[in-house]
Amino acid sequence: MRINIVAGNWKMNTTVSEGVKLVSEIVEKSKDLSNVKLIVAPPFTHIYSVCEKLKGTEIGLSAQNCASEEKGAYTGEVSAEMLANLCVKYAIIGHSERREYYKECSEILLKKTKLALANSISPVFCVGENLNEREENRHFEVVRKQIEEVVFNINENDFEKIIIAYEPVWAIGTGKTATSEQAQEIHAFIRKVLSEKFGKKAENTSILYGGSCKPSNAKEIFAQPDVDGGLIGGASLNADDFIAIAKSF
Ligand code: PGA
């Protein structure tokens, strides 16, 4: 059985004290939620303090990234092992901002994915096309390649731990959202591609939608059969909006 997930990607926002306040509000307001798993992904600097606030709750803690190397002389990097040691259970890998601004290619993303899994961290692996690719009707081809180059290179047991986030780059932080039909069409395609390699196991993979998801559009998007939740950027910085999105199932 696949689970519904709403994950908040805080990106490079909030100070530690603001982040602690935000997560405290989320804990408080999420008490009556039952059919959805909440995950928060604060910046690295907040991980320890946020972890303390999440103790005794069902809310999962995610990193926004992890290093592609195990340990050693990699100034400025944070390893999967360090994160696992701080009760981090998820890591966003391959977000389009990492692909675009930090030139993270599939080869690097595969290393990150494998290291996360080796440390019992579930990757939230992001795929998605940019505006040009969508306009040229190449979105299926682009997303297939992103999946084949990374997800197809992990073993079947590890595959069970992967969460996929489909995030059309043209919808991230732009206020433009994919229509629920567009989301369903590509989510179903992603599941089909996954099933080519992993068979029936793909039925259990949670595939999240991301890109200007907010309380006003979440219900319609989440109602689609192959949309199992959302990866939320901007709207996850407000506890009321984040919880309202989680209540859209
Ligand atoms: P957005 O970001 O909700 O602000 O569009 C989504 C994401 O990048 O994960």
Under 8 Å between Cβ of 69 and 40: no
Is 95 designated active site?
yes
Residue nearest to atom 7 of ligand 1 (CA): 233
Which pLDDT does position 63 carry in this prediction? 98
What 3-state class would DSSP assign to 209? strand
Tens-digit pLDDT profile for the chain (249 aa)? 899 999 999 999 999 999 999 999 999 999 999 899 999 999 999 999 999 999 999 999 999 999 999 999 999 999 999 999 999 999 999 999 999 999 999 999 999 999 999 999 999 999 999 999 999 999 999 999 999 999 999 999 999 999 999 999 999 888 888 899 999 999 999 999 999 999 999 999 999 999 999 999 999 999 999 999 999 999 999 999 999 999 999
Q: Give residue 136's identity as a one-letter amino acid code.
A: E
Q: Read out DSSP for 214-249? A: -HHHHHHHHTSTT--EEEESGGGGSHHHHHHHHTT-
231 pocket-lining for ligand 1 (C-beta < 6 Å): yes
Q: Read out DSSP for 9-47? A: E--S---HHHHHHHHHHHHHHTTT--SSEEEEE--GGGH
Q: Which domains does the chain have, with CATH numbers?
A: 5-246 (3.20.20.70)
How many CB atoms lie under 10 A from the CB of residue 157? 9
Residue nearest to atom 2 of ligand 1 (CA): 233
Specify the ligand 1 atom closest to the Cα of 92: 9
Which pLDDT does position 175 carry in this prediction? 85
Q: Give residue 177's identity as a one-letter amino acid code.
A: T
Distance of CA 73 from the midpoint of ligand 1 (Å): 32
User: If we measure between CA atoms, which residue out of 85, 110, 226, 224 comes closest to residue 162?
Assistant: 110
Query: In whole angstroms, what is the distance from residue 31 CA to residue 51 CA?
Result: 17
Which pLDDT does position 245 carry in this prediction? 98
How many CB atoms lie under 10 A from the CB of residue 236? 28
Distance of CA 42 from the midpoint of ligand 1 (Å): 13
Which pLDDT does position 158 carry in this prediction? 98
